[in-house]
Structure formats: C-alpha cells, structure tokens
Amino acid sequence: MRTLNFFRKLTGPKAKANGRARRAGRLSALLRLVRTYPRAGFAAGFVLLALCGGVAGFVAAQLGYIDLLKQESSRIARQTLLDLGLSVRSVTVAGREQTETQEILEALGVAVGDSILHTDIVAAQQRLAKLPWVGHATVFRKLPDTLHIEIEERQPIAIWQIDRRMVLVDHLGAPITEKDVPEYVHLPLVVGKGAAQAASELLTILSQERWLQRRVAAAVRVGGRRWDLRLQNGIDIRLPETDPQAAWRALAAYEAREGLLGRDVEVVDLRLPDQLIVRLSEGRVQRIGPEGREAGLQKVKMRRWS
C-alpha cells in the first residue's frame, strides 16, 4: 500500500516549473497593484521593509547585539570620514581681541584629528559664549579640515566699584571681568549697588554735554534712585531723581555763562526744580534761582559725598 507524505518536498522538474510559475504570478500581481494603485503598492512595499527591519532589530536586541552594532557602525563611519580627510586640522578665529587663544581652544573642546562632521557645533558655541569677554560666538565648518570661529566680544562702558572690588561692566550692566581693569582706567567709575545697571542711561545723559562730562571723575548711585557726581577738582554734583537730563543741561548752561565750577565750591545741588544750590568751601550756601539770581546766603550743614 502506498503511503502519501504531505510534508515531502517535491524536487522534480515539474515541481520546479510550478514554483517558478507561482513566484512569477505573485510578482505580476504586485506589479499590477503598483500600476493600478501606486500609493497603495508603495505603501505595501514600505510596510514589508519595515516589518523585516523590525524583526531584524528585535532579534538583534534579544541577542544583545544592538548596542554593539551601533558602536561598530559609528566607528566605521568615523574612520571612513577620517580616511576621506574630513578631520580637524586647523582652527581659525575672527573678532578676538581680549579673549585668550587657549581659552577659545579649551572651550571649543575639539582636538586635532577629530572627525569634523561629528563636532557638536551647538555645544561648542554655548561653551564659547560662557567665556568672560564673549558676547556671541558662531562656529562654522570649512570642509574638509577647518573649524572657523567668529566672536563678538562685549564692550566695557564703565568700571563698577562694589564691595571694594573693581569690575568692568557692559552696556547692560553685566559684569565682564575684574582681571583687565587696569587697561581701562580711562572709563568712568560708577559706585554702589545698582550703579552698573543704571550706568548706560547716566552716560547717555552726560554725553549730551561732552565738554562737561570730561570733568566727571566718578558717579555714585544713591538709594538706587539717583546719582551724585564727583568732578576731577573734587566738587560734588547732586542730580535729581526726576529728570536728571534737564538738571545736567541747566548746570552746563550756567557753567558756560558763569564759570561756577572753577570757583571755591564744594557742592552743587540740583535736586530742587528750577533751583541751583551751591555750597561754598567756607560752609555758606548760595541759592540761585532759574534766572541765575542769588536768593540769599545761609549757613547749613550738608552731607558730604563719601
């Protein structure tokens, strides 16, 4: 009696011909699907590829090879780039004046021979921006082997004296550094809490009368509200909290007409509207009205600026 084996694989010529015919039929059906419904056909192809990739990834993960595959592929990619000459060979910098070269290289965090395409440009720019003098930094790749850095350095506008420390500050009042202060002794000195943040506004006011501004040696922030100025000859100028610009212009006009600041004067008080009060060296006070007339003299005690 003949036994039928349904699991036996047919290998004869007829079986091979039938297999080829079935495969051709499937291929023809897929091609017809693509021609008739292009989007559906391509989608089916992508789904098939995704399934295959997912299965392969699952198997690799189960066997513990996925991290090894990533590391090896990354190593091969880096080595290929290096073999093609895409490695860091030089670094160029533009805009640097105060920032030291070594500081820039350390902040860049890239060594000669590193892959130029694997350099983290954003992270390098962030590290550079943290350097004391750097306001903004941009890093460019110049293929095949050069990194170019463009730096915008912060510009100091004043020296800020706070708690017996001298600090350079920019137009926002942000501290720059204590290290290079001796190089900027020509900058105005501002003193006290909040003086750095208000310095830019004060300098804008003073610059409207530059000939008089050049005689100012220092400015003290009083109560976070107003300024006392110390001239080079030791005279104190007390500016008001409200509209210090108008008071400064009035002082300039009176000085141009009367030469007040060349006299034996200790304090000029501009805090009262439409009045200029002058304290003379011997302790007398001279009150001058809006037209420049003397309103009288009296002996008073006035707080000295220290």
pLDDT digits (tens, 9 = 90+) for 94-104: 999 999 999 99
> What does the alpha-carbon distance between residue 122 and residue 141 come to, in Å, rounded to a whole number?
12
Closest CA to 139 of 150, 130, 131: 150
Sequence letter at residue 130: K
Rg (CA), the chain: 40
Q: What is the predicted pLDDT for the residue at 213?
A: 96
Q: How far apart, in whole angstroms, are the C-alpha atoms of residue 218 and residue 47?
A: 75
How high is the pLDDT of residue 102?
93
As a whole number of angstroms, the distance between CA 68 and CA 79 comes to 16
Which residues, including other chains, have CB under 8 Å from residue 210's CB and lie 6 or more apart? none
* 3-state SS record for 80-137: HHHHCCCECCEEEEECCCCCCHHHHHHHHCCCCCCEHHHCCHHHHHHHHHCCCCEEEE
- Topology of domain 158-299 in CATH is Rossmann fold (3.40.50)
The domain at 90-153 falls in which architecture?
Roll (3.10)
Distance CA 116, CA 141 (A): 7
Low-confidence residues of the chain: pLDDT under 50:
1-10, 34, 37-38, 41-42, 45-49, 55, 59-60, 69, 291-306
